[in-house]
Amino acid sequence: MTVQLVHPEQVHRVDVHNQVAVAQGSRTVYLAGQVSWDLEGNLVGPDDVAAQAERCYLNIAAALDAVGATPADLAKVTVYVVDLDEAKAGQFVAGRDRAGAALGVAFQQPSTWIGVTALAAPGYLVEVEAVAVLP
């Protein structure tokens, strides 16, 4: 295993992610921000933060698979949500967890969530970029 997720004893524990990832490997993979598009570039989940988050994580898993990696190799994610608030944060977690259930994994990597006013194209509410470490 190249990434070990840790909750430090002296840092507040949150339910949505671990606070630390210790990565050991020889290759680092940087994923472009993934939005909720399908293979044809169509928006998946208009006006639905959960559906968009789910698709973002499914796209991340597909991108990782393309380079011989899995979600277990993720070391860090950065999440961008349009007009982020507590309700949208909850919807995001629900969608992320649905993707994890479909893939048989738990997305608990350290993460930073950033509220933004807009993303690159109209209709996109969520974008997730990621860093993975491979052996």
Q: Where are the domains of the chain?
A: 3-134
Query: Is-contact 18 5, C-beta < 8 A?
Result: yes
Q: Cα dist. 71→45, 79, 89 in Å?
A: 22, 16, 21
What is the Cα–Cα distance from 14 to 7, expressed in whole angstroms?
9
Percent of the chain topping pLDDT 70: 96
Query: Is-contact 29 133, C-beta < 8 A?
Result: yes
CATH classification number, 3-134, choose in 3.40.50.300, 3.90.1150.10, 3.30.1330.40, 3.40.50.360: 3.30.1330.40
Dihedral sign from CA coordinates of 100, 78, 124, 91: positive
What is the Cα–Cα distance from 105 to 84, expressed in whole angstroms?
25
pLDDT interval class at 1 (50, 70, 90): low
Mean pLDDT for 94-115 is: 96
Q: Is the pTM of this model over 0.85?
A: yes
